[in-house]
Structure 1
Amino acid sequence: MTLSIQQIVDVARNAAEEKKAQDITVLNISGISVICDYFVICSGQTGIQVKAIAENIIDRLIERGVAPKRREGLREGNWILLDYGDVVVHVFREEERAFYNLERLWGDAQVVNNSVVSQN
């Protein structure tokens, strides 16, 4: 079973919520980048929580037949990147998120609500 972009975003968001991720944001970058269509960005208070959030996202998507194409930072737990092709998930420790400020860096991107992710 292949998940749609919407479903991948929803599963990632819900899995992050299960582990009490903070400030979950979805950015639609499809019109301004060829990297992917969506960023899911969230944060945790500690490295342990950041790892737990990322591992839960990985597990929930694998349960649905979707494995990350690439994952970075899992060992360190400061900024974990999970690449699902059209969707890239960033899980930060709060300090790293404030420092890198992807929302500002990708300021032209549309912030989307739960039900606004559309199929491309």
Structure 2
Amino acid sequence: MKQDEGNNKDDILQQVVAAMQEKKAKDIVHLDLTALPDAVTDYFVICHVSSKTQATAVYDYVLEQVWKNCKEHPYHREGYENAEWILIDYVNVVVHIFLEEKRKFYHLEGLWADAKITNHSEE
């Protein structure tokens, strides 16, 4: 299910990445899934953090910035309670905030290896 084209997925993507950068998330990437026929969304945005406190801070700031700048609430969200892998679903953009060890374990970049990957980390 995808939202109307009125939902500017590129603006949401930009706000998510900027919010992650502001909260010092690590290894921020987005996967462009638009060319993959069975993809469930257009973009995955993935990052990791060093603590559950930082995970919830990134989550809160992503929600705040996307609402403030795009007037979009997530369609679905989960994982906030244990804060090891938090998912925020904006339908066309799905955000993944991991603790580092969980990111290594699930390795979403490997599962979606056919996607075009763009690195947004400031190193």
- Report if TM-score (shorter chain) is over 0.5: yes
Residue 87 of structure 1 and its aligned partner are, at CA, apart by 0.4
21, 35, 55: which one aligns with 1:31: 35
90, 95, 102: which one aligns with 1:96: 102
The match for 2:83 is 77
Report SS of the residue matched to 1:31.
coil
The match for 1:117 is none
- AA paired with 1:34? A
Scaled by the length of structure 1, what TM-score is found? 0.89
Unaligned runs of 5+ in 2: 1-5
Aligned residues: 113
Scaled by the length of structure 2, what TM-score is found? 0.87
> After TM superposition, which residue ranges in structure 1, 4 or more long, deviate above 2 angstroms?
none
Residue 72 of structure 1 and its aligned partner are, at CA, apart by 0.5
Residue 3 of structure 1 and its aligned partner are, at CA, apart by 5.0
How do residues 106-117 of structure 1 correspond to structure 2 at under 5 angstroms? 106-112=112-118
Unaligned runs of 5+ in 1: 115-120
Residue 113 of structure 1 and its aligned partner are, at CA, apart by 5.4
Report SS of the residue matched to 2:21.
helix
12, 18, 25: which one aligns with 1:8: 12
Distance change (3 Å), C-alpha of 1:40 and 1:71: same
Quick one: distance in 1 between partners of 2:117 and 2:95?
A: 14
Report SS of the residue matched to 1:36.
coil
Over the aligned positions, Cα root-mean-square deviation in angstroms equals: 1.3
Contact 2:27/2:119, CA 8 A, preserved across alignment: no
Distance change (3 Å), C-alpha of 1:94 and 1:113: closer
Residue 4 of structure 1 and its aligned partner are, at CA, apart by 1.4
- AA paired with 1:104? G
Using the aligned pairs only, state the percent identity.
38
Greater shift, 77-86 or 3-12, is seen at 3-12
The match for 1:67 is 73
- AA paired with 2:66? L
